[in-house]
Amino acid sequence: MARAIEIVEVGPRDGLQSEPEVLPTATKLELIGRLVAAGLRRIEVASFVNPKRVPQMADAEAVMAGLPKVPGVQYVGLVLNKKGFDRALAAGCTEMGLVTAATDSFSERNQGATTEELIRTVEEIAPLAREAGVRMQVTVSTAFGCPFEGEVPVSRVVDICRRLAATHPLEIALADTIGVAVPSQVTSLVEQVRAVVGDVAIRCHFHNTRNTAVANAYAAVLAGVNTLDASVGGVGGCPFAPNATGNVGTEDLVYMLARAGYDTGIDLDRLIETAKWLGEQRGKVVPSMVSKAGGFPVGTSRASAG
């Protein structure tokens, strides 16, 4: 039986938040419905942040209220502080993603706080999430490099992850926010972080800024990571990081994993259709490669080798 790899679809949130235009709530909900129909079972759908800073996510509550209720599908909301947590909880969010950053420079520009302050925020929210019965996971952004400080010491990332693991999150995600990582770096960091986080799972989040995202994702899988983030069509980036272009395309990742013998449970043809549809809604072609080239052999939609 093929090894299962879980894909966390981040397009409706991380993908759309960097777009210059604001898509209507109904369009977002149709995108999410199409992703569910393609087999995605864990989807990041909203960001409970200041709408003045991220106007693309101003309709978080409306999106949550309109989500299709499908057994086995988990919807994720991004929260950055206690206020965001309260909003997400009131909106019925059952999984929340928190974020800290590996450098103070990025933390302050992205979230208006130091890394230490962000870790303390996670420490504050974690017990509240447990009490509310909400799944909580944490992303460490700029884990592989920072647009303002350059190389990030591995020891710093490892220490941050050690402290975050003490809050007992569902996962800790290592994020290549600006797309500078290479496979050997991914292998090394995953191994060193795993040594200090105990039984906390590691997830990885890659951007394709320098065309290394698929290779990095494969390196993460070979290092034992079972959950990867991806964005349909490869859309998105980070609005607070210079030149941080799109996330790894979900269809690019699904194609690679299926051909390599892994099971994602995702229908590649339906995913490609969704990517093309999203391009039409945006008024421009999505950047992912497989959405243009199609699967192989032609006409197959294999999601696994099993």
Half-sphere CA count of 159, side-chain side, radius 13 A: 9
State the DSSP H helix or E strand holding residue 120, giving kind and residue range, or none if neither.
helix 115-132
Residue 182, number of CB atoms within 10 A of its CB: 14
Q: Are 149 and 103 in contact (CB under 8 A)?
A: yes
Distance CA 135, CA 96 (A): 6
63 exposure class (CB count in 10 Å sphere: 0-12, 13-18, 19+): buried
The dihedral sign for the CA sequence 213, 218, 222, 228: positive
90 exposure class (CB count in 10 Å sphere: 0-12, 13-18, 19+): exposed
Q: Are 274 and 234 in contact (CB under 8 A)?
A: no
SS3 76: strand
Distance CA 246, CA 257 (A): 19
Beta-bridge partner residues of 176: 206
Distance between start and end Cα atoms, the chain: 6
Distance CA 23, CA 18 (A): 11
What does the buried/exposed string (b/e) look like for 104-132 if buried means 16 or more CB atoms within 10 Å of the residue's CB?
Answer: bbbbbebbebbbeebbebbeebbeebeee
Active site residue 238: yes
Type of residue at 23? L
Torsion angle defined by CA atoms of residues 125, 131, 135 and 137, in that order, rounded to the nearest 10 degrees:
30
Catalytic residues: 238
